[in-house]
């Protein structure tokens, strides 16, 4: 594809909704890790495209900052607690693109005798969400589109959604007798105050509250203290987890031609995108719903209030989330290498 025309601190509310993935910092960590892993020429190509939206969405014109755009476009109030925007784009019809609710039994047993190894069978049991469908179709888009606008829009959503799916709370619906239709990505399991997060979803969004003070804003620009902190944090994660083997081996398709890349992402036998969801599903089973007291009874307001997660749980969460963010950032760099070639 050769395009014809390349040319207030946000603190997410503790009561974040399920369609908000990693808070701004987590999304930007994934994309900054990708940026640091990309060839400089590819970063230049991608940023040149993304910068075309600078007028309506200032300071979202780089791979790193554009990753928050998928939430920013949902802003419907300039006083919103999680995404203030003077343009109030209010595009909420895309909410289901941010997740897939794969059913998981909170008690640790297999849902309908299915595990991640059952692949497509488990995917077919999803309780809603269109993230998998969005990503597979987006790869096809980049093989066809001649529109800079379409490519810019698709790239921004890809940056966001691919980050979302590294968060296990964007890939599961926790099933219990109390919540037979699922826990809304952990949002129904509330925690007593003060905890590291207001609910199970929020505590994962915030990476156990470790990075809560470094988030996007219209002044989050290179050279600012927060931007420097983000870059340093991404570099530190690459140093700590950068050599962890990628079990899905995205690197093996970095240099293949684009049709082969799309086949590897979307089709049997590799189905790398589907397997990314299933990998995150296993994190939910092995970490998110393990070693935590979620045995609530509904109070008089029909709310499920639980004790704060233990420090051991929060530490395990942070270690798991940081490793996932790093691996996902490196995988994203492979995807962006392929997309940069399509844009040029």
- Mean pLDDT in order along the chain per 10 residues (344 residues): 39 37 85 99 98 92 96 73 67 84 98 98 96 97 97 98 96 97 96 92 94 80 92 98 97 98 96 98 98 93 95 98 98 99 96
Cβ-contact 157, 96 below 8 angstroms: no
Cβ-contact 168, 183 below 8 angstroms: no
- Residue where the block lists tokens 């997309």: 339
State the pTM of this model: 0.91
What pLDDT, on the 0 to 100 scale, is given for residue 12?
A: 33
Q: Give, in order, the Cα–Cα distances in Å from 73 to each of 56, 87, 213, 266, 292.
A: 10, 9, 22, 27, 34
- Residue 197: other Cβ atoms inside 10 A: 25
What pLDDT, on the 0 to 100 scale, is given for residue 83?
A: 61
For CA atoms 317, 320, 323, 325, give the dihedral sign.
negative
What pLDDT, on the 0 to 100 scale, is given for residue 183?
A: 96
Contacts of 189 (CB under 8 A, 6+ apart): 174, 183, 199, 200, 294, 296, 304, 306
Cα separation of 286 and 96, whole Å?
Answer: 25
What pLDDT, on the 0 to 100 scale, is given for residue 88?
A: 77
Q: What are 231's two structure tokens?
A: 């870059």
Segment 282-285 long-range contacts (CB within 8 Å, at least 24 positions apart): 282/116, 283/168, 283/320, 283/324, 284/104, 284/168, 284/169, 284/171, 284/172, 284/174, 285/104, 285/108
- Which CATH number fits the domain 24-343, given the four candidates 3.40.50.620, 3.30.565.10, 1.10.575.10, 1.10.3720.10? 1.10.575.10
């Amino acid at each position: 594809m050769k395009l014809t025309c390349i040319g207030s601190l946000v603190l997410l509310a503790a009561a974040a909704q399920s369609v908000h993935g990693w808070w701004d910092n987590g999304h930007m960590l994934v994309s900054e890790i990708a940026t640091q892993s990309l060839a400089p020429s590819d970063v230049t190509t991608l940023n040149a495209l993304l910068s075309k939206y600078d007028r309506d969405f200032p300071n979202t014109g780089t791979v790193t900052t554009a990753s928050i755009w998928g939430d920013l476009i949902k802003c419907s109030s300039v006083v919103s607690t999680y995404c203030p925007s003077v343009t109030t784009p209010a595009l909420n019809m895309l909410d289901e693109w941010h997740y897939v609710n794969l059913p998981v039994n909170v008690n640790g047993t297999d849902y309908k005798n299915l595990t991640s190894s059952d692949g497509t069978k488990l995917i077919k049991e999803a309780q809603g969400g269109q993230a998998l469908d969005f990503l597979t179709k987006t790869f096809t888009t980049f093989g066809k589109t001649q529109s800079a606008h379409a490519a810019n829009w698709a790239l921004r959503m890809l940056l966001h959604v691919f980050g979302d799916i590294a968060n296990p709370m964007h890939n599961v619906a926790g099933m219990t007798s109390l919540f037979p239709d699922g826990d809304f990505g952990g949002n129904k399991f509330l925690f007593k105050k003060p905890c590291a997060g207001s609910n199970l979803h929020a505590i994962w969004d915030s990476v156990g509250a470790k990075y809560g003070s470094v988030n996007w804003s219209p002044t989050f620009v290179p050279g600012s203290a927060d931007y420097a902190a983000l870059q340093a944090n991404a570099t530190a994660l690459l140093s700590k987890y950068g050599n962890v083997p990628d079990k899905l081996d995205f690197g093996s398709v970095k240099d293949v031609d684009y049709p082969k890349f799309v086949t590897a992402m979307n089709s049997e036998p590799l189905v790398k995108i589907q397997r990314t969801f299933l990998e995150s599903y296993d994190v939910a089973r092995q970490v998110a719903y393990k070693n935590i007291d979620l045995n609530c009874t509904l109070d008089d307001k029909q709310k499920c209030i639980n004790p704060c997660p233990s420090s051991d749980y929060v530490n395990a969460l942070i270690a798991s989330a940081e490793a996932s963010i790093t691996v996902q950032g490196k995988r994203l760099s492979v995807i962006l290498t392929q997309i940069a070639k399509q844009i040029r």
